[in-house]
Structure 1
Amino acid sequence: MKYTIFPTEVTNPLAVWQQFEGSERVYWHDTQVNRVIVAAGRVKRITEAELPEYPWAWYSQSFFDTMNDSTWQDMGNELVVFTYYYVKEEGKAYWVTADSIAPVITETVVPHIKHTYEMVTTGDYPAWERLFEGIQKSIQSGEVKKVVASRKVAFHSDRPFQVTSIIHNLVEQNQGAFIFAYAKGEAVFLGASPEVLVRKRGQDFMSYALAGTLKKDDIQDGGERLLTDAKNLREHQIVIDRIRQTMLTLCDKVDVQDTHIMELPNLYHLRTLLYGHDTNDSILTMAKALHPTPAMGGEPREKALQVLKTYEPYERGLYASPVGWVCGNTPLFREAGDGLLIVGIRSALIHGQDLYAYAGCGVVAESDCEAEYTETATKLQTILKAL
């Protein structure tokens, strides 16, 4: 399929997003390097072998192998290419399109909406206690060392949620995060994830170990106490060890960097970067090997996933799952097969007037039920503040 590159004077990526309302589309803003990609007009699902025929492919994978909840609109488990790609980076914008001319975009004003909504999910603490107790029982029996529990909280608005306004606020409020929105059918999955699952450049991979959390509140030490907190350090080390062992199955060498503090608007996290070198495997092969890391599922993986299937009372869908871009034949953006996949956390699924927000936390033997519940409430603020 032939694509043409056109320069453009369009400066607002959200105007592009709005213009393709009703189309299957993706909004992506890597605020770490200030790169935006907006894609629209689904062409088809492709295989990895077909990547060189297209500029980029959007990848999403469901958390579990099967996904039975119809609210997810058949999202996930495919590599999708589009007709139109709007790209903005380093102060320049351009189109990469399969059409012979670039789309005409009207740069409309992005609406800034203060949503009025109510929480539909109430009194869910007893369900959380049952989940927590089930996890602790599995830890005490020696089946697992850690399980990542999560909550799904439903909200309803008297008018449809305005996705463009929410995306705008996510970008403004979450510098350093990866802002994403994927619209398919009547559903939109969006969020502001701080976590890279895997990045590939040439023959090298990079992944984040991101586990261990501290709410900011009135803390003045920049989160440094996390670096000496035994419970959080143990939880974090479980993630480092598993990612390193997995990367070594596909790479000749793995370098583990020093653990440091990652600062977010309302939280501090422990973060360790891992680099795998000299690989002949694809980014999707690595993603499937890594997912879910102990930061999203637990350790050991299969035992932890079985605990979640038993006690977690809802379908995760794309929550906490790999989403992102794989490069094809794009002279302006690295080589075919490179790419960046994040995990879809600090996220929500929107259906018109209904919004389902997701948040999770790692549970180990030392965890406290009420404290972990409070941590999920803090993480939900990423979405709620964007409303």
Structure 2
Amino acid sequence: MIRTEQQGLHQSLLTALEARMETIISVVKKVEWIDPLFFYAAGKRLGFTERFYWSDTTQRVTIAGVGTAFTIADSSKQRFQNIRAVWDKCLQNMIVHRSSYEFGTGPLLFGGFAFDPLKPRTQLWAEYDDGVMWVPSYMVTLKDGEVWLTTNYVVHTTENAIDLQEKTEEMERKLLQQSKHPLVDAGLSFVWEEEVKPQEWIQSIPIVQEAMNVRDVSKVVLAREMRLRAKNHIDSAAVLQALRIGQPDCYIFALDYKGSCFLGATPERLIRKEADVFTSMCLAGSIGRGKTEQEDYENEEALLHDEKNRTEHAYVVDMIRSVMNALCDEVQIPYEPGLMKTKHLIHLHTPVQGKGDTHLLEMVERLHPTPALGGTPRDEALALIREHEVLDRGFYGAPIGWLDYEGNGEFAVGLRSGLIKGADVSLFAGCGIVSESDPSLEYEETKMKFKPMLTALGGYKL
């Protein structure tokens, strides 16, 4: 049971020590307005090696965290259940000092999950477990124009809790002071870039299509990789700044963890929970934006009436509907898809809403991967991906997001993304393969999907 103390913080610390158990202390307070991205950048200047950044598609909630008060990592097949079990145990010994609850504040877990724990990891993703989420030491939340600072630390019976509190408050002051400094754009220049085995990827499509016919698989998503190397180390804060300017209608995210940073701008929500309301979306089927309003309109009409894209979209709608019907009491899904426009692409889009008391991580586990990222039927499609995709997806195409101590939170799908390791960056893009897919057109679609990250890195060359 979470104990929320309205008494003095000093008394809360004494309560934790008297209980003789490890306790997460969380202090939430409103502070003057600061940019969460500046807070994220300040964390690196002050020596924090783990950071995260998150903003939703409406810019209603933006969160940045630095440091780790508590980390849960799991690479077993039961990663969702195990992380949930550890978090639920943490909640039993937690003291939250706040004046009122605000969505996205207080102790929360932020992190993500690998796309497929059954596919062997390569050195590319060596730093990441198949599931890793952490409680940040310091976090700012910008919500509806107001800013809250959350400080989290773990108290042990052998520690001087009051001294720990004083050190924490001193770091708070340093972070807030450093967060007043704007970002310095040093610019990026690259010494080389390459698409990883593009011809092999194109040639794999008819092979997969033949296997799909034999195994009665309707759709398989195949992804590929592009690599770049810069002259100097890449500043993830600068890339995030470019993404939020260039892709304001997307989720902007970053997981800076053990020297690697997975970041991107994804249009796709997996699931959001606030109180008893779940919201999801079906996003599958896409076409490029036109160069004029008339071309844009023609592309919209073409997409809405394209049988291949409508079929792909229907697979996602059917799957998400079945999960929501199983876990929610009320489910609302329109009969016909609409459109979602991003800077470079137009997508078929169907919103989904349900009501229920299911745990958010259970919903994430049941939904991942949707046919938009894996294929359908799920297990058979994943088997074909393991056999034919020349890529360690890692966290690409997988759930990225957060869960708070009240059970609320939000997860997006890690698309339009890249992995930064020093001066090197790997970019990822994929598309849905069905029986009538044209390999050359699918290749062109992935080129479009590389564009947001390439643009944020300083140029678009494909």
Relative distance call for 1:141 and 1:245 in structure 2 (3 A) is same
- Distance apart, 1:157 and its partner CA: 1.0
User: How many Å apart are 1:41 and its aligned residue?
Assistant: 1.2
1:90-129 mapped onto 2 (5 Å cutoff):
90-98=144-152, 99=165, 101=169, 102-104=172-174, 105-106=177-178, 107-122=180-195, 124-129=197-202
Query: Which has the higher mean CA deviation after the structures are superposed, 208-217 or 119-128?
Result: 119-128
TM-score (norm 1): 0.93
- Stretches of structure 2 that go unaligned for 5 or more consecutive residues are 1-23, 73-85, 95-105, 153-164, 458-462
Report 1:202-241 matches (<5 A): 202-218=275-291, 219-221=295-297, 223-241=300-318
Shift of 1:172: 0.4
Which runs of no fewer than 5 residues in structure 1 stay unpaired?
329-335
Task: Pick from 135, 143, 164 the counterpart of residue 89 of structure 1.
Answer: 143
What secondary structure, in the 3-state scheme, does the structure 2 residue paired with 1:358 have?
strand
Q: Work out whether 1:69 is the aligned partner of 2:139.
A: no
Q: Map 1:182-221; keep pairs closer than 5 Å.
A: 182-218=255-291, 219-221=295-297
How many Å separate the matches in 1 of 2:269 and 2:296? 27
Q: Give 1:10 deviation, angstroms.
A: 4.9
| 1:137 partnered with 2:210 | yes
Where does residue 76 of structure 2 map in the other structure?
A: none
Partner of 2:133: 79
* Alignment-mate amino acid for residue 370 of structure 1: S
| Contact 1:75-1:184 within 8 A present in 2 as well | no
Compare 44-53 and 235-244 and name the one that shifted more: 44-53
Following the alignment from structure 1 to structure 2, what is the Cα–Cα distance between the partners of residues 384 and 77? 27
Q: Which stretch has the larger CA shift, 25-34 or 352-361?
A: 25-34
Give the residue type in structure 1 aligned to 2:122. Answer: D
- Matched with 1:333 is none
The Cα shift of 1:14 comes to 2.1
Q: CA deviation at 1:381?
A: 0.6
Once the two structures are superposed, what CA deviation does each residue of 1:122-159 show, in whole Å capped at 9, x if it has no partner? 47232112321232112222431001111111111111
Deviates more, 1:337-346 or 1:214-223: 214-223
Richer in helix (by share):
2
CA distance in 2, matches of 1:234, 1:353: 41
TM-score norm. by structure 2 comes to 0.78
Q: Does 1:275 align with 2:348?
A: no
Which residue of the partner structure matches residue 353 of structure 1? 423
- Which structure is higher in RCO with an 8 Å CA cutoff and minimum separation 6? 1
Larger mean CA deviation between 239-248 and 144-153 belongs to 239-248
The equivalent residue for 2:219 is 146
1:167 aligns with 2:240: yes
Runs of at least 4 residues of structure 1 off by over 4 A? Answer: none
Partner of 1:17: 40
Identify the residue that residue 78 of structure 2 maps to in structure 1. none
Q: Is the 8 A contact 1:111 1:164 kept in 2?
A: no
Question: Partner amino acid for 1:88?
Answer: L
1:245 equivalent in structure 2 = 322
Aligned to 1:3, the other structure's residue is in SS state strand
**Greater mean deviation of Cα atoms: 288-297 or 119-128:** 119-128
**Match for 1:55 among 102, 107, 110?**
107
**Alignment-derived partner of residue 340 in structure 1:** 410
Q: Which amino acid aligns with 2:116?
A: F
Q: Which has the larger radius of gyration?
A: 2
Aligned-partner Cα distance in 2 for 1:7–1:76:
35
Show CA shifts across 1:250-297 (max 9, x none).
2233221241100000100001112222x3321110111110000000
Which residue is 1:291 aligned to? 368
Q: Quick check: 2:54–2:252 contact (8 Å CA) kept in 1?
A: yes
Q: How many residues align?
A: 379
Is 1:262 matched up with 2:340? yes
1:370 equivalenced with 2:427 (yes/no): no
Alpha-carbon contact 2:282-2:351 (below 8 Å) kept: yes
Contact 2:54/2:63 (<8 A) preserved: yes
User: C-alpha displacement at 1:113, in angstroms?
Assistant: 4.1
Equivalent of residue 179 in structure 1, options 248, 252, 257: 252
Q: Is 2:398 the counterpart of 1:321?
A: yes
Equivalent in the alignment of 2:80: none
Change (3 A) 1:151 1:118: farther
Q: Which amino acid aligns with 1:270?
A: L
Partner of 1:121, secondary structure, is strand
Deviations 1:146-175 (A, max 9, x none): 011111111111111121111000000111
Match of 2:29 in 1: 6
1:23 offset after TM fit, Å? 2.1
Give the root-mean-square deviation of aligned CA atoms: 1.8
Q: Distance in 1 between matches of 2:306 and 2:274?
A: 34
Cα drift, residue 310 of structure 1: 0.4
Alignment equivalent of 1:32, drawn from 58, 72, 77: 58
Q: Secondary structure at the match of 1:42?
A: coil
Secondary structure at the residue paired with 2:68?
Answer: strand
Letter in 2 for 1:378: M
The one-letter code matched in structure 2 to 1:207 is S
1:206 Cα deviation after fit: 1.7
Residue identity matched to 2:141: V
Is the Cα–Cα contact under 8 Å of residues 150 and 360 in structure 1 kept in the other structure? Answer: yes
Of residues 41-50 and 168-177 in structure 1, the stretch that sits farther from structure 2 once superposed is 41-50
